[in-house]
Structure 1
Amino acid sequence: MVKILFNIVRNQQQILCAAYSGNRVHWHCTDDTSTTCVPCPSLTFTDEPNGLTECFPCTVCDASRGLRVNKVCTRSSDTVCGPLERFYCIEKKKDCCTLAVQHSECSPGQYIKQAGTGSTDTVCAECTGDTYSNGSFSSCLPHTKCEALGFTETNPGTHSSDTKCGNPSTAVAIVASSIIVALIIILVIFFFIFKHIRKKKQSKSSGKCYSVIFSMRSIVVFFYNGIFYENSTINSGWVTFIIIHIHYILLHLNRFIIIINVDYSCAA
């Protein structure tokens, strides 16, 4: 009877020792001594009552398994691991992730319909219509309209790439060359007019005067039409703006030359 009572007391001491998580048994009770309990050392734990003489080692979150620490280990709880950034968990033990894999990447021509989380993979969907995505967009983007920007389309857009637009240097080169030609023609005209004025300074022939005027108007109109025809295929507002102003300048130069011609070649 006494032995039974002693065993009951010893068991109660052991239970009391293990009543709190985070402890372990240091000395088991004997006939003369009670059970001695001590806290778990660093990097070990017990998370429930026990009669163990050793605490459990804390779990290590292995990055090679796609894991990181979500909650650090304490004397009374194990480490809680979670998936790395851009990973999701595929194996779990209680609340701890034990294996994670990387989120799927959408291919060019697809967009991210639903971003991946710590527990779900990425969901991709195909682009449709006149749109594209390189695989990293959350939605498909419309293709660039080159004409609206004053450029020319060099490569049409696909579901995986945008439209390729031509360099505006082509249009600039055409306009620049036209301006240079215009200046050269104007200088040549000035040269011949003043040469004609010096030779015919004393002439009062109105027929020659109007002949020069008619020639000037013909050159201006012909030159303007040539520029406009060359650039008629360029769908650009600013190019048209430049051409119109070239026309305006040439017409005013024409009037200026006519005045000079009237003053010096057609004067009474």
Structure 2
Amino acid sequence: MLSTVFGCLAVFLTPGLCCQLKEYSTTDGQCCPMCHEGSVVRRDCTRQTGTRCIPCVNGTFMNEPNGLNKCNPCTSCDQGNGLFAKQGCTAATDTVCHVVNGYFCKAFTDESGCSSAEKHTQCGPGHRIKAPGTSRTDTVCESCPSGYFSLDGVNCTVWTLCSKTQPKIKEGSRIRDVVCGTASRQQYSYIAVILPLLTLVIKG
């Protein structure tokens, strides 16, 4: 019996310990029924009346039973940072944000939304896209292999093979193609002399 008395005294001296599930403790140590989702406390309960609740107004929400007197502000999806409202805010649910094309989510919310997004990485010259970016992952880039180059950072192209009449004058790299020269004047002169001779031989 004493333990029960002391237990009650402990409960009485520590406001809130008496309160049951879906009850909240007031400043004077009373236990009142919580307000439902979508509303907050307007007036605490008394011995004669229950808790007075008011609904959350536009731009605010409350997504759980509570003993609070203020609703939470709705999240704003920042389009400038790659977010848009996939689901609008209601009295009982917060806004659900999602990423726009060209961005991926860096931080997810409990409601399967996104709270922070970042623009997909642009692969630079000398690289190609190994894996395109998605709404959940960034772009994966990789270097072009030897013998290939990339100017735009999208795909790698094989180096040009110079012919015997167009000797290589500049070696290729990961960011530029091989540069081939043109046939020399001497070669053109040689061809110009040989062709008339061949014509005479054929006619003869």
The TM-score by the shorter chain falls in which range?
A: 0.5 to 0.7
Structural mapping, 1:55-70, within 5 Å = 55-63=71-79, 66-70=82-86
Q: In structure 1, which of residues 122, 127, 148 is the aligned counterpart of residue 139 of structure 2? A: 122
Q: In structure 2, which of residues 163, 168, 176 is the aligned counterpart of residue 161 of structure 1? A: 176
> Comparing 118-127 with 59-68, which one deviates more in the overlay?
59-68
| Cross-structure match for 1:227 | 192
Q: What is the CA-CA distance between 1:119 and the residue it aligns to?
A: 3.1
1:79–1:164 CA distance, 2 compared to 1 (3 A) = farther
Q: What is the CA-CA distance between 1:46 and the residue it aligns to?
A: 0.9
| Cross-structure match for 2:56 | 40
1:228–1:86 CA distance, 2 compared to 1 (3 A) = farther
Two-structure CA RMSD over aligned residues (Å): 4.3
1:31–1:110 CA distance, 2 compared to 1 (3 A) = same
Aligned partners of 2:127 and 2:151: how far apart in 1?
Answer: 7
Q: Is 1:131 equivalent to 2:148 in the alignment?
A: yes
Q: What is the CA-CA distance between 1:163 and the residue it aligns to?
A: 4.2
Which one has a bigger Cα radius of gyration?
1
Identical positions, percent: 34
**Amino acid in structure 2 at the alignment position of 1:77:** T
Aligned partners of 2:41 and 2:69: how far apart in 1?
Answer: 5
What is the CA deviation profile of residues 223-248 of structure 1, one whole-angstrom value per residue up to 9, with x for unaligned ones? Answer: xx86265xxxxxxxxxxxxx79xx87
Q: What is the CA-CA distance between 1:44 and the residue it aligns to?
A: 0.8
Q: Which has the higher strand share?
A: 2
Q: In structure 1, which of residues 29, 36, 45 is the aligned counterpart of residue 45 of structure 2? A: 29
Q: What is the CA-CA distance between 1:101 and the residue it aligns to?
A: 3.0
1:152–1:84 CA distance, 2 compared to 1 (3 A) = farther
What is the CA deviation profile of residues 192-213 of structure 1, one whole-angstrom value per residue up to 9, with x for unaligned ones? Answer: xxxxxxxxxxxxxxxxxxxxxx
**Amino acid in structure 2 at the alignment position of 1:29:** C
Q: What is the CA-CA distance between 1:81 and the residue it aligns to?
A: 2.9
Runs of 4+ in structure 1 over 6 Å off: 150-154
CA contact (8 A) 2:162 2:168 kept: yes
What runs of 5+ residues in structure 2 fail to find an aligned partner? 1-18, 25-31, 183-187
| SS of the residue 2:92 aligns to | coil
Structural mapping, 1:168-187, within 5 Å = none
Q: What is the CA-CA distance between 1:157 and the residue it aligns to?
A: 3.6
Aligned partners of 2:87 and 2:181: how far apart in 1?
Answer: 55
| SS of the residue 1:119 aligns to | coil
Q: Is 1:78 equivalent to 2:43 in the alignment?
A: no
Aligned partners of 1:228 and 1:37: how far apart in 2?
Answer: 105
Give the structure-1-normalised TM-score.
0.48
**Amino acid in structure 2 at the alignment position of 1:158:** S
Give the structure-2-normalised TM-score.
0.59
Aligned partners of 1:163 and 1:226: how far apart in 2?
Answer: 27
Q: What is the CA-CA distance between 1:105 and the residue it aligns to?
A: 2.6
CA contact (8 A) 1:65 1:98 kept: no
Q: In structure 2, which of residues 156, 159, 172 is the aligned counterpart of residue 143 of structure 1? A: 159
Q: What is the CA-CA distance between 1:158 and the residue it aligns to?
A: 2.6
Q: What is the CA-CA distance between 1:89 and the residue it aligns to?
A: 3.2
Q: What is the CA-CA distance between 1:110 and the residue it aligns to?
A: 1.2
Q: What is the CA-CA distance between 1:42 and the residue it aligns to?
A: 0.8
